[in-house]
Amino acid sequence: MKDLINSAARHVPVWAVWLTGSAPLLWLAVQVVQGSLGPDPAKTMERELGLWALRFLMLSLAISPLRWLGLNLLCFRRALGLLAFAYATMHLTVWVWPDMGLLWQQMAADIVKRPYLLLGAGAFLAMLPLALTSSNMALRRMGGAAWRRLHRLAYPALGMAILHFTLLSRVWTAELVIHLGLSLGLLLVRLLPKRPVLGRVAAAKPPPGNKVAERGAATERNFL
Amino acid sequence: MPRRFRNELNWSDVTPKPLWLNRRAVLAGAAGLAATPALARIEAAQSAFSTDEAPNSLEDITSYNNFYEFGFDKSDPSANAHLLTTDPWSIVIDGLVERPGTYDLADVLKGQPLEERIYRLRCVEAWSMVVPWIGFELAGLLNRVGVQPGARYVAFETLLRPEEMPGQQSASLSWPYVEGLRLDEAMNPLTILATGLYGDIMPNQNGAPIRLVVPWKYGFKSIKSVVRITLTDRKPPTTWNRLQPEEYGFFANVNPQVDHPRWSQATERRVGSGFFADRLETKMFNGYAEHVAHLYAGQDLAVDY
């Protein structure tokens, strides 16, 4: 089963992830044009963009735990992370305008006063350097170790994003509980002392003397 | 011999309801419905308390609701409220009243003059609407049942019927929903029991068949689908206050200076005004200060939020 999924995943081009990931945005755009986003379309748009940012961030952080279970979807992680950043950027943009209507003073006062806004801003700022260093060239320039250290910012980003969502809610809706539960799960699983290494064993043990494969395996480990 | 009046209009000349409810027509005619009371099914007098702001469309008002008994999403009530049976309906009026009892809805309405009250509605979530309610002053009903001298508060209760109100099957809030007013707030002429809107009977998702409307307070005070009204000498518990006392006070007056702990109340979004609409400044007491500010003389509204 695992092998089936892994070999199927190898045939899925990354642009397909981009295409699928753009579907929510396209659907929202269609609804804005149709006027079917409800009586407060900007607010609905803002909420949906934020939720999709959160979901793509969660997906990008699900790649490693899935690898521990033997599913290798690593090649899609960059696209998922960048999709999360793109949705977060649009979410922030819709908040600034039209939601807050460019009321800079109220926005500034709110950000320092409201923990949920501080957390949202924090999550965005944590994702910003990750997006900026997402290219192969940035990875090469920084070196694997530094790059890996920097990209651990994804964890606080998810933590702040899910808290941001939680603090906005008036009651514990099923939607909130599911997102919160999955997010906490994705973060807590990182604390497990001994990770299952089922998939890694096969992938990371090149025959001795095969330098290229060894380097490849090392790079792969760097991504964990 | 005087010429007899002859009506040359046919039913085909009557504007279809969807058209006269059309939002653009309402906007163009500035409170269009107010100008055409003859089309309304419910006869209701105009009121000096009505705002001249353009009401939201019937679609906005009936598709964007916080009525957690039918679900958390704004669109849930319009999807689920058809499950609610509103006939027969009766209200228990008890506590410190001269004539306590179970009053059939028709009996509750008896002798109460219906008025159209076009009120602003400001939600604690920082959005607002303008709604052309039809209702009567709560004071009229309270005077009819006779308020005993010891009464200081009025407590309200929403129907508890989980089989028709799916939201009540989850314990997110403690059911039934309860609310309360101080007696002077309840007797203020702005405070109404509404039985309809836009000239028609109350849509289920808006709190059919009868609900409270207190326009200077956040929307959650305006309890829907009321089945019990109790006069009491002590401050009654209120649902949101019970859930988060530091966030939702008993008074819950609209106040741009007192923020919700988690978000600002300084401005609001007027729903229905489009994707690019500007925020509006929130007004003290939702713009009804001249009618209600005196009720709170000597009170610190940052403490009594």
DSSP string, B215-275: TTB-GGGS--SEEEEEEESSPPP-HHHHH-TTTS-SS-B--TTS-BTTB--SEEEETTS-T
Q: Which of B275, B278, B281 should one mutate to test binding to chain A, selecting the residue with the greatest count of A CBs within 10 A?
A: B275
Answer whether A42 sits within 8 Å of B269, measured CB to CB. Answer: yes
Question: Distance from B276 to chain A by nearest Cα, in Å?
Answer: 5
- Find the residue in B nearest to A32 (Cα): B275
pLDDT number for residue B27: 52
pLDDT number for residue A214: 43
Interface predicted TM-score (ipTM): 0.80
pLDDT number for residue A210: 47
pLDDT number for residue B107: 97
Q: Number of A:B CB contacts under 8 A?
A: 64
- Find the residue in B nearest to A116 (Cα): B262
Q: Name the B residues in 244-303 with CB < 8 Å from any A CB.
A: 259, 262-264, 266-267, 269, 271-272, 274-279
pLDDT number for residue A199: 46
DSSP collapsed to 3 states, chain A: CHHHHHHHHHCCCHHHHHHHHHHHHHHHHHHHHHCCCCCCHHHHHHHHHHHHHHHHHHHHCCHHHHHHCCCCCHHHHHHHHHHHHHHHHHHHHHHHHHHCCCCHHHHHHHHHHCHHHHHHHHHHHHHHHHHHCCCHHHHHHHCHHHHHHHHHHHHHHHHHHHHHHHHHCCCCCHHHHHHHHHHHHHHHHHHCCCCCCHHHHHHHCCCCCCHHHHHHHHHHHHCC
Question: Distance from B127 to chain A by nearest Cα, in Å?
Answer: 9
Residue B23, H or E segment: helix B23-28
pLDDT number for residue A202: 46
Which residues of chain B fall below pLDDT 50?
23-25, 29-40
Q: What are phi and psi of B200, to 5 degrees?
A: -125, 170
Contacts B74 to A, Cβ<8 Å: 38, 40
Which residues of chain A fall below pLDDT 50?
199-207, 209-224
B75 touches chain A (CB under 8 A): yes
Q: Which of B131, B264, B270, B273 should one mutate to test binding to chain A, selecting the residue with the greatest count of A CBs within 10 A?
A: B264
pLDDT tens per residue, range B67-104: 999 999 999 999 999 999 999 999 999 999 999 999 99
Question: Distance from A160 to chain B by nearest Cα, in Å?
Answer: 15
Answer whether B74 sits within 8 Å of A109, measured CB to CB. Answer: no
pLDDT tens per residue, range B263-304: 899 999 999 998 888 899 999 999 999 999 999 999 999 999
Answer whether B279 sits within 8 Å of A38, measured CB to CB. Answer: no
Contacts B274 to A, Cβ<8 Å: 41
